């Protein structure tokens, strides 16, 4: 192959990484990233609360001005359960007692009947929609005029196509409903206590509010799904145990949120989740809480920074895992007491998480800052949500949307924390890798890395049929400098020489320290003439160099041997040996000069055989 001359234009200084400067630069960039992360987390603790309330306000149900209101009455207990036919034909009309507060609640022993009536005729503009919010665990039967045929409403229904979202159980009533005309609702018995306030509004207003709800729920679920997908990609690449814990925590939380909103039942997997009944949301809520404890302990390294608190905090996982197992069919039977205990454990775990991580933060735990920003809003809304569930209050819009917003926010911030932790580990790995392959004093490649990289450079040059040259440098009378000025000055001399050499190297050239005061420069794509020119420039530049030492400066010279790749049978060790031989010639000829090995001179850039 033909050896082509390479351009000898000068580039910016390059030594393939400077030792102390490289490490300082990596640490400075790491400190800048850490400072930026701290600025981020220090500014956001209350922002998510504001966002949660603003988001809830945008989804607040529109007021139905001028529409008739509902009057609710409850059927008093009877010795025998009444038949639907007897109720709907009015045989028990005198047994319905008006409720001062229109709140419907189930019974743990039998079905409860309610009668709903408008206090005025419904206008003809649009049909009315009867809705029951906050009915996650409810199964209702609605009997509407004129036929009073039963209509089943429950969150886990997957057989009939849904007309509305599952934010509430809803049905369209007859268009011409008039004042006093009864609509009957049978509330099936339930082990779990809940309260719902029935509402009636026109179809257009309900659909508009429902659309806003779907947009918000889809946005929040999309954020969490994106974090799950990002976590899966990271885990596939890194196979990190911490990312696996993150995926378990966020994915079960996402499933819980979509089950609680009912949107998951409209997916292709809806029938499978419907088999869990109303216990499905409890199953994934308890699993998410248990997995989150495991993740927090690992993410914040709590076993190292707060071992005692971490042990107590970690122990709260096991009641939650037990509760998850008890919620599975056929064991799943949620009583009010059982639900209260589980909610209190989740509440205690949330508060314990904040307290333990605060302790870790005081002890210098860096990741604790990310966790606190991520979880403080969620813990606040978790407390509100659990109090609302324990008290059986209706779910207000600010809590309905604020709670899933804080979950999405937490998954996003924790993912940022994982990325920050990965970047921090990467910086430390890069520094360790640099120290393993570079000379700590000069920043040039060390001997081991130099020889390995030379072999690769020789193989690449032979494969691409391109020339390759090597310069072997030895500082003249360096031992005398150490003896006269001391090793500290000698070390500074080596650093300045490497810095000086770097100014004459091209972009693809690289420098290594062979040992002591000996250095090797590898010049890819450089033929004999190019190598000799670069070697002469390096020699002349070092000759002009002044080394400060002990109050006065002194000069230094270098001898350089030049060798080049000869043919396809040539090797890196042979090339290095020839360059060392040329260096001996330069030393023997009086030092401070460049000598080229005879094999390269005779070769005259001919084709390689």
Q: Which range is least confidently modeled, 37-51, 489-503, 593-607?
A: 37-51
As a whole number, mean pLDDT of residues 358-380 equals: 84
Residue 604 — very low, low, confident or very high, per pLDDT cuts 50/70/90? low
CATH architecture entry for 70-207: Sandwich (2.60)
Please report the pLDDT score of residue 330 as a whole number. Answer: 66
In the chain, what percentage of residues exceed pLDDT 90? 47
Residue 242 has pLDDT above 70, yes or no: yes
Same fold, 70-207 and 439-603: no
Please report the pLDDT score of residue 63 as a whole number. Answer: 42
Residue 18 has pLDDT above 50, yes or no: no
Please report the pLDDT score of residue 40 as a whole number. Answer: 45
As a whole number, mean pLDDT of residues 422-444 equals: 80
Please report the pLDDT score of residue 55 as a whole number. Answer: 52
What is the rounded end-to-end Cα distance, in angstroms, of the chain?
Answer: 7
126 compared with 558, residue with greater pLDDT: 558
As a whole number, mean pLDDT of residues 20-43 equals: 49
In the chain, what percentage of residues exceed pLDDT 70? 86
β-strand partners of 562: 471, 596
Q: What is the average pLDDT score of the chain?
A: 84
C-alpha 497/C-alpha 146 separation (Å) is: 100
Residue 11 has pLDDT above 70, yes or no: no
What is the dihedral sign for C-alpha 592, 598, 601, 606?
negative
Please report the pLDDT score of residue 31 as a whole number. Answer: 47
As a whole number, mean pLDDT of residues 321-348 equals: 79
Domain boundaries, the chain: 42-58+240-434, 70-207, 439-603
Segment 458-467, tens digit of pLDDT: 999 999 999 9
Contact present, 16 and 511 (Cβ < 8 Å): yes
Q: Which range is least confidently modeled, 28-37, 329-338, 546-555, 596-605?
A: 28-37
Q: Which range is least confidently modeled, 111-120, 229-238, 531-540?
A: 229-238
What is the CATH topology of the domain spanning 439-603?
Alpha-Beta Plaits (3.30.70)
Segment 528-577, tens digit of pLDDT: 999 999 999 999 999 999 999 877 889 999 999 999 998 888 999 999 99
Contact present, 276 and 329 (Cβ < 8 Å): yes
Please report the pLDDT score of residue 114 as a whole number. Answer: 97
| Listed residue (598, 456, 609, 457) closest to 528, CA to CA | 598
C-alpha 17/C-alpha 579 separation (Å) is: 24
Name the one residue in this structure whose structure tokens are 């949330």: 350
Angle between the N-to-C axes of helices 336-362 and 367-391, in degrees from 0 to 180, rounded to the nearest 10: 160
Q: What is the dihedral of CA 569, 573, 576, 578, to 10 degrees?
A: -60
Residue 195 — very low, low, confident or very high, per pLDDT cuts 50/70/90? confident
């Amino acid at each position: 192959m033909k050896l082509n001359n390479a351009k000898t234009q000068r580039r910016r200084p390059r030594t393939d990484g400077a030792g102390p400067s490289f490490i300082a630069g990596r640490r400075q960039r790491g400190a800048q990233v850490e400072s930026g992360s701290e600025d981020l987390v220090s500014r956001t603790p209350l922002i998510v609360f504001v966002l949660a309330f603003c988001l809830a306000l945008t989804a607040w149900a529109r007021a139905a001005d001028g529409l008739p209101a509902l009057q609710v009455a409850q059927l008093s207990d009877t010795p025998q359960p009444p038949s639907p036919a007897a109720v709907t034909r009015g045989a028990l009309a005198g047994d319905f007692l008006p409720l001062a507060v229109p709140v419907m609640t189930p019974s743990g022993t039998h079905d409860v009947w309610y009668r709903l009536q408008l206090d005025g005729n419904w206008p003809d503009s649009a049909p009315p929609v009867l809705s029951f919010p906050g009915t996650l665990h409810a199964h209702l039967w609605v009997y509407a005029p004129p036929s009073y045929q039963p209509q089943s409403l429950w969150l886990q229904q997957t057989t009939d196509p849904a007309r509305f979202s599952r934010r509430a159980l809803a049905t369209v009533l007859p268009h011409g409903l008039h004042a006093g005309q009864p609509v009957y609702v049978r509330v099936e018995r339930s082990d779990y206590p809940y309260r719902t306030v029935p509402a009636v509004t026109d179809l257009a207003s309900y659909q508009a509010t429902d659309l806003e709800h779907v947009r918000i729920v889809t946005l929040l679920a999309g954020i969490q799904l994106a974090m799950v997908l990002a976590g899966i990609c990271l885990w596939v690449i890194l196979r990190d145990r911490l990312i696996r814990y993150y995926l378990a925590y966020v994915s079960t939380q996402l499933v819980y949120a979509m089950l609680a909103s009912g949107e998951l039942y409209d997916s292709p997997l809806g029938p499978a989740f419907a088999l869990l009944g109303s216990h499905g949301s409890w199953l994934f809520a308890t699993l998410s809480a248990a997995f989150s404890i495991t993740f927090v302990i690992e993410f914040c390294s709590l076993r190292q920074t707060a071992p005692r608190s971490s042990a107590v905090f970690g122990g709260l996982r096991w009641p939650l895992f037990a509760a998850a197992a008890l919620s599975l069919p056929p064991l799943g039977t949620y009583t009010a007491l059982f639900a209260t205990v589980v909610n209190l454990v989740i509440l205690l775990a949330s508060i314990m998480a904040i307290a333990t991580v605060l302790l870790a933060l005081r002890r210098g735990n860096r990741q604790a800052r990310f966790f606190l920003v991520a979880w403080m809003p969620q813990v606040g809304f978790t407390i509100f949500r659990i109090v609302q569930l324990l008290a059986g209050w209706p779910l207000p819009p600010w809590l309905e949307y604020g709670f899933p917003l804080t979950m999405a926010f937490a998954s996003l911030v924790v993912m940022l924390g994982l990325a920050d932790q990965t970047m921090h580990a990467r910086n430390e790995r890069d520094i360790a890798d640099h120290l393993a392959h570079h000379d700590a004093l000069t920043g040039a490649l060390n001997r081991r890395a130099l020889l390995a990289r030379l072999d690769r450079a020789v193989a690449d040059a032979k494969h691409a049929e391109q020339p390759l040259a090597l310069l072997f440098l030895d500082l003249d009378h360096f031992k005398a400098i150490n003896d006269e000025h001391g090793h500290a000055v000698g070390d500074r001399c080596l650093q300045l020489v490497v810095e000086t050499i770097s100014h004459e190297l091209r972009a693809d050239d690289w420098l290594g320290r062979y040992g002591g005061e000996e250095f090797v420069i590898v010049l890819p794509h450089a033929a004999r003439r190019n190598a000799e020119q670069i070697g002469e420039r390096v020699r002349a530049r070092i000759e002009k160099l002044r080394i400060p030492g002990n109050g006065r400066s002194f000069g230094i010279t270098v001898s350089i041997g030049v060798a080049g790749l000869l043919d396809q049978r040539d090797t890196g060790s042979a090339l290095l040996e020839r360059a060392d031989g040329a260096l001996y010639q330069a030393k023997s000829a009086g030092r401070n000069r460049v000598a080229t090995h005879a094999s390269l001179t005779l070769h005259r850039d001919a084709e390689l055989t």
